[in-house]
């Protein structure tokens, strides 16, 4: 049996080593275009930052080590330029030769390649992508040689944000140019604004809803809002697309954006040809919508999975949640499942909730806040997705929620999750549990949340906004038009507003406003609770003011 | 409606505030024996350590604040000395009076009290428990006044370990006296030995399988192994028992160790009397065995739950996993579900696996190891429990596994969990995913693990132990009798052992030995894999050598 694998990084190499463990006698050949296989692609921005100091640490494996340990035939600097699937053969091209290579089973794991926007004058500036060891070598050499003052990063996705942080930490002024209204399309806008605040606080110059018009011969970047930035280089992190150009003339079917179409066994439309990784279209676990996903963990998982399938073990892939995380200076933002944009686009009926918690007991030193957003179905409780931002413990909460969503737990089961608690590690009622309590309150009609974007409409319709924080907190900043009536005074000094008036209650994070909502509802008012309260509203509104 | 709640800390106060949110008109009276309600009991050891510096931070709420916010009638320094359930009334005793208090619904949340072992000469030494603000005040006053050199801590459970750390960090020499063979009965012995190693490395004098025989008039502690320790004080952390003495003459049924018997609605055997928290017997989620559980999170959860029940909402409690965590100096150890001792005692058919992973990408700075043990059913894949130890990220893994166990996921689903991955936060194939892969390999017959305690028997039966680490690693330390044959040499220089010989393979953590097992099995050998490999075996064996 000869297995040929095209692409020797996450998915391809996981498949190769698993194939070997399952079959000592098989011939396993890995063809890779690049000079390195099995390298730490997710580590590249941290090497640029100088956090990872040894280049050798990026090179997880070498062909020689893979030969010794797994008897793999790894062929680097080799490009597949043709596939003759009718005779089960590839055409491989190297610097010196072109040859035919037959296979019994073929795995395609070519990965993605950076999208280069068609920029007028692009050649006027040194520009770098961040996909390979060669890329990182080039950018670090440039930085050391030229000592650049200012670099423009195009694209506010994961790589763009990680590079913004890395370059800033090296003392370089960063302009982050983002085409859409907010960075990070994995999270919704009211979550992204907290990332944007962090970027600005760390002196990254943020250009939202902005594109480059041209780059001049004297190395100036012209933006479509008229601004002109003098730059020393460009980092292009404007997304990736499947590196599937070599498949265009083959019978292997490609779908949206050139992604390879696969079935539940990661088999392509051609017999004995399989595909995994960034280049394939994978179904989302809940919606089943097929989309591209450029993440290391799923690629690794798919690689091992497809090796089992190729070896004849029975496996069936159900879909992906696309859990993702990124550190942006002192903040971490993570997400899993469907976000609100997805749900809206797909026509789901969904409920949103936001809850603020702490990473660990508030009375234990260095507790920091976590803002958690959960999306679910109010009627049957199904969890659709979650997003979180904070300085610590965000990964844990999103991992728990990813597990809960995968396991088809419902919103009312989140309070029952028994998460480890001691003061340095968690909170007796964790923010994940709290999200479940809030969700249950919504489902059972004990609270009626409205979202930040619904407030103006409700007020225009005659509702009165009551801010139940203390007078001191209110004085520091509040929503225009809000009346201040501290929670602890409501029983002693009842509101003098007619019971027919609709009230909206708010506080700092939503905890006190909920208590006020329960009290006022029982006093006979119709009450709505501003979900996420002032903390969320002030952030997203200040963004709007700044950019509308 | 008058609700009376006995005990105003975790469970009782959660119930009280939820009752108020559900019913603004109810009368809610909380009776507490102590001077403080709603205090941070889990924070007490950290206050002794000086990590939590403000005493006020321990006092989460005061009766005045609870009155203002929730209209609660909190009566501290008040003890319930009688319950007349036939007339729905309590007898309450204070320093100045004794009175009758009627109730419509009664919630008992009396908590636990420290077990004081009957020690001969106990009064010869200052001794302290660690249950209340008064306890912590007493011990901190003693330390500041007497500047003790040496303190003996009785009991290696959570409080005993936290106090050992806290006192050591204050410069006090600690003798930790533990009756059973290992500390921490929530984890199994081969996990506990890593905690014991950490304690010794941090200069805690550990006395395992040891009891105090007597305390002499000149303040010497005599141990049953003949050792004599000069001590300045004792911390008694020898476990807790339900504070249910006041219920003994009532019709409220008590079970094992005086725990209150409740049904799925936390109702006691007497109508309109409910109970939650450390004083009740709760069913384990999987085994349904009723036991005591002294943990803050479950108590809080039960409190809110029972308030719903008492208010007429439909709720049904299924059981608890008892997830727990403790920091011991630089190590963290956590557990969820059933441990191996439980499974053995209850007669379960179970499979054990150990897997070593990292808290985050190995190439990113400061990666540290996590040893994870998972217990499951090899036939149907049901997860029974998990334990982990390491310097970082232990809480996250156990929380994910607690969620998985609660959700009834099976071992073969663990690889599919999509946990957030970026180099500072995780590993592309997380240790939780790896546990799933190993479990699948076991279930599908691709690996045959044997446990540390099975090795001697197999070798006695004629099996040969092959250590596949490098010669350099082998030279640093190895299991007596092992043959060294590095993994990467096996294909080029095959073993010269007859194929009829049974082999056991081992390496450092189990990764290389599994690769060797697959290779040698396919070469025709019968092979077993030493689960946990040298890392685990050396630790548990050195303990045995030291103490047998």
**DSSP 8-state secondary structure symbol assigned to residue A434:** H
Domains A122-238 and A449-547 share a fold: no
Q: Percentage of residues in chain A with pLDDT exceeding 90?
A: 97
According to CATH, the topology of domain B449-547 is Oxidized Rhodanese; domain 1 (3.40.250)
Q: Which parts of B446-499 fold into alpha helices (H)?
A: 455-460, 471-476
Gap from A162 CA to chain B (nearest CA, Å): 10
Residues in chain B: 548
What are B24-28's contacts with CB under 8 Å, separation 24+? B24/A518, B24/A519, B24/A522, B24/A523, B24/B71, B25/A522, B25/B1, B26/B1, B26/B2, B27/B1, B27/B2, B27/B3, B27/B73, B28/B2, B28/B3, B28/B70, B28/B71, B28/B72, B28/B73
Contact in structure between B271 and B132 (CB atoms under 8 Å)? no
Q: B418-447 pLDDT, tens per residue? A: 999 999 999 999 999 999 999 999 999 999
Contact in structure between A136 and A129 (CB atoms under 8 Å)? no
Residue B329 near chain A (CB below 8 Å): no
Other CB atoms within a 10 A radius of the CB of residue B314 amount to 7
Catalytic-role residue among B22, B42, B76, B138: B42
Interface contacts (A, B; CB < 8 Å): 249
C-alpha dihedral sign at B404, B406, B412, B416: negative
Dist CA A58 CA A44 (whole Å) = 8
Contact in structure between B293 and B278 (CB atoms under 8 Å)? yes
Three-state DSSP string of A356-369: EEECCCCCCCCCCE
**DSSP 8-state secondary structure symbol assigned to residue B363:** T
User: Of chain B residues 382-421, which have a CB less than 8 A from chain A?
Assistant: 395-396, 398-400, 402-404, 406-409, 413, 415-421
Closest CA to A449 of A383, A543, A371, A350: A350
Collapsed DSSP state (helix, strand, coil) of residue A529: strand
pLDDT for A545 equals 39
Q: B377-426 pLDDT, tens per residue? A: 999 999 999 999 999 999 999 999 999 999 999 999 999 999 999 999 99
Residue A324 near chain B (CB below 8 Å): yes
Asked if the model's pLDDT at residue B548 lies above 50, the reply is: no
Q: B489-506 pLDDT, tens per residue? A: 999 999 999 999 999 999
pLDDT for A548 equals 26
Confidence of residue A547 (pLDDT cuts 50, 70, 90): very low
Closest CA to B161 of B327, B332, B392: B327
Gap from B251 CA to chain A (nearest CA, Å): 31
Asked if the model's pLDDT at residue A178 lies above 60, the reply is: yes
Contact in structure between B531 and B447 (CB atoms under 8 Å)? no
Of A20, A162, A407, the CB nearest to B404: A407
Q: Percentage of residues in chain B with pLDDT exceeding 70?
A: 99
Residues in chain A: 548
Q: Which two tokens stand for residue A282?
A: 């994978």
Asked if the model's pLDDT at residue A539 lies above 50, the reply is: yes
Cα–chain-centroid distance for residue B16? Answer: 28
User: Of chain B residues 255-314, which have a CB less than 8 A from chain A?
Assistant: 295-298, 300-301, 304, 313
Mutate to test the interface with B, among A358, A364, A422, A469 (most CBs of B within 10 A): A422
Gap from A466 CA to chain B (nearest CA, Å): 17
Contact in structure between B38 and B303 (CB atoms under 8 Å)? no
Kindly compute the dihedral angle of the four CA atoms of residues A145, A150, A154, A155, in this order, to the nearest 10 degrees.
110
Gap from B24 CA to chain A (nearest CA, Å): 6
Q: How do beta strands A233-236 and A150-154 pair?
A: parallel
Contact in structure between A392 and A325 (CB atoms under 8 Å)? no
Contact in structure between B75 and B90 (CB atoms under 8 Å)? no
Once rounded to an integer, what is the mean pLDDT over residues A487-496?
A: 95
Closest CA to B239 of B277, B187, B183: B183
Q: Which two tokens stand for residue B438?
A: 């190993």
Q: B199-254 pLDDT, tens per residue? A: 999 999 999 999 999 999 999 999 999 999 999 999 999 999 999 999 999 999 99
Of A318, A420, A491, the CB nearest to B323: A420
According to CATH, the topology of domain A122-238 is FAD/NAD(P)-binding domain (3.50.50)
Collapsed DSSP state (helix, strand, coil) of residue A279: helix
| Interface contact flag, A52 B365, Cβ < 8 Å | yes
| Interface contact flag, A407 B407, Cβ < 8 Å | yes
pLDDT for A543 equals 54
**Residues of chain A found within 8 Å of residue B57, distances taken between Cβ atoms:** 363
Of B46, B324, B400, the CB nearest to A423: B46
pLDDT for B545 equals 40
pLDDT for A546 equals 36
| Interface contact flag, B418 A43, Cβ < 8 Å | no
Q: A143-156 pLDDT, tens per residue? A: 999 999 999 999 99
Q: Is B231 a catalytic residue?
A: no
Once rounded to an integer, what is the mean pLDDT over residues A498-515?
A: 96
Kindly compute the dihedral angle of the four CA atoms of residues A495, A498, A501, A502, in this order, to the nearest 10 degrees.
30
Query: Could you give the ipTM of this predicted complex?
Result: 0.97
A422 CB burial (10 A radius; 0-12, 13-18, 19+): buried
Find the residue in B nearest to A367 (Cα).
B52
**Residues of chain B found within 8 Å of residue A330, distances taken between Cβ atoms:** none
Residue A134 near chain B (CB below 8 Å): no
**Residues of chain B found within 8 Å of residue A363, distances taken between Cβ atoms:** 40, 43, 52, 57-58, 60
Of A24, A46, A487, the CB nearest to B69: A487
pLDDT for B170 equals 96
Superfamily of domain A2-111+241-310: FAD/NAD(P)-binding domain (3.50.50.60)
User: Of chain B residues 346-375, which have a CB less than 8 A from chain A?
Assistant: 361, 363-365
Residue A437 near chain B (CB below 8 Å): yes
Kindly compute the dihedral angle of the four CA atoms of residues A77, A82, A87, A89, in this order, to the nearest 10 degrees.
0
Gap from A406 CA to chain B (nearest CA, Å): 7
Q: Is the pTM of this model over 0.80?
A: yes
Residue B184 near chain A (CB below 8 Å): no
pLDDT for B543 equals 55
Once rounded to an integer, what is the mean pLDDT over residues A175-183?
A: 97
Closest CA to A371 of A352, A395, A388, A396: A388
Closest CA to A73 of A32, A125, A42, A106: A32
Identify any residues that bridge with B389 across adjacent strands, giving them in sequence order. B333, B371
Q: Which two tokens stand for residue B191?
A: 């996990």
Asked if the model's pLDDT at residue A255 lies above 50, the reply is: yes
Buried b (16+ CB within 10 A) or exposed e, B423-443: bbbbbbbbbbbbbbbbbbbbb
Find the residue in A nearest to B323 (Cα).
A420
* A480 φψ region: left (φ > 0), alpha (ψ -120 to 50), beta (else): beta
Q: How do beta strands A205-207 and A173-177 pair?
A: parallel
Mutate to test the interface with A, among B314, B323, B389, B428 (most CBs of A within 10 A): B428
Dist CA A506 CA A501 (whole Å) = 16
**Residues of chain B found within 8 Å of residue A70, distances taken between Cβ atoms:** 515
pLDDT for B511 equals 94
Report domain extents, chain A.
2-111+241-310, 122-238, 330-443, 449-547
| Interface contact flag, B518 A417, Cβ < 8 Å | no
| Interface contact flag, B407 A402, Cβ < 8 Å | no
Residue A46 near chain B (CB below 8 Å): yes
Once rounded to an integer, what is the mean pLDDT over residues B345-365?
A: 97
Superfamily of domain A330-443: FAD/NAD(P)-binding domain (3.50.50.60)
Residue A61 near chain B (CB below 8 Å): no
Find the residue in B nearest to A515 (Cα).
B21
Collapsed DSSP state (helix, strand, coil) of residue B272: coil
User: Of chain A residues 485-514, which have a CB less than 8 A from chain B?
Assistant: 487-488, 491, 514
């Amino acid at each position: 049996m000869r297995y040929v694998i095209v692409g020797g990084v996450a998915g391809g190499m996981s498949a190769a080593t698993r194939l070997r463990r399952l079959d000592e006698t098989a011939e396993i050949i890995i063809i890779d275009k690049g000079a390195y296989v099995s390298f730490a692609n997710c580590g590249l921005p941290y090497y640029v930052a100088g956090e990872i100091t040894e280049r050798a640490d990026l090179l997880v494996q070498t062909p020689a080590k893979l030969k010794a340990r797994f008897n793999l035939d790894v062929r680097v600097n080799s490009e597949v330029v043709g596939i003759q699937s009718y005779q089960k053969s590839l055409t491989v091209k190297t610097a010196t030769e072109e040859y035919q290579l037959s296979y019994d089973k073929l795995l395609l794991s070519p990965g993605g390649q950076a999208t280069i926007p068609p920029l007028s004058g692009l050649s006027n500036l040194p520009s770098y992508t961040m996909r390979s060891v060669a890329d990182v070598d080039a950018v670090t050499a440039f930085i050391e040689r030229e000592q650049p003052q200012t670099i423009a990063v195009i694209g506010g996705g994961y790589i763009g944000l990680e590079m913004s942080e890395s370059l800033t930490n090296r003392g370089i002024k960063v302009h982050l140019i983002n085409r859409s209204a907010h960075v990070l399309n994995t999270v919704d806008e009211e979550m992204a604004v907290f990332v944007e605040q962090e970027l600005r606080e760390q002196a990254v110059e943020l250009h939202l809803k902005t594109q480059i018009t041209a780059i001049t011969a004297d190395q100036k970047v012209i933006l479509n809002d008229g601004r002109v930035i003098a730059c020393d280089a460009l980092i292009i992190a404007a997304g990736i697309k499947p590196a599937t150009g070599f498949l265009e003339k083959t019978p292997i079917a490609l779908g949206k954006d050139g992604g390879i179409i696969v079935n539940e066994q990661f088999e392509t439309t051609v017999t004995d040809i399989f595909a995994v990784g960034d280049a394939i279209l994978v179904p989302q676990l809940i919606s089943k919508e097929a989309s591209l996903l450029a993440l290391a963990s799923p690629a690794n998982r798919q690689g091992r999975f497809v090796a089992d399938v190729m070896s004849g073990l029975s496996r069936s892939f159900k879909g992906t949640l696309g859990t993702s995380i990124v550190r942006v200076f002192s903040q971490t933002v993570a997400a899993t499942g469907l976000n609100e944009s997805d749900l809206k686009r797909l026509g789901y009926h969904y409920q949103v909730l936001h809850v603020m918690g702490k990473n660990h007991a508030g009375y234990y030193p260095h507790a920091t806040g976590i803002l958690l957003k959960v999306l679910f179905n109010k009627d049957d409780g199904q969890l659709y997705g979650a997003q979180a931002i904070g300085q610590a413990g965000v990964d844990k909460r999103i991992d728990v929620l990813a597990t809960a969503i995968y396991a088809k737990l419902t919103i009312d089961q989140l309070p029952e999750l028994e998460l480890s608690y001691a003061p340095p590690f968690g909170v007796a009622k964790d923010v994940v549990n709290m999200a479940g309590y809030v969700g249950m309150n919504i489902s059972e009609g004990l609270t009626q949340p409205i979202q930040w974007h619904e407030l103006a409409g409700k007020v225009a319709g005659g509702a009165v906004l009551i801010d139940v924080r203390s007078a001191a907190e209110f004085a520091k900043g509040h929503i225009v038009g809000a009346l201040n009536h501290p929670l602890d005074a409501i029983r002693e000094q009842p509101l003098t507003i007619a019971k027919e008036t609709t009230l909206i209650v708010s506080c700092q994070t939503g905890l006190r406003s909920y208590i006020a909502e329960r009290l006022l509802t029982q006093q006979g008012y119709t009450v709505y609770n501003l979900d996420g309260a002032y903390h969320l509203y002030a952030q997203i509104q200040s963004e709007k003011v700044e950019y509308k």
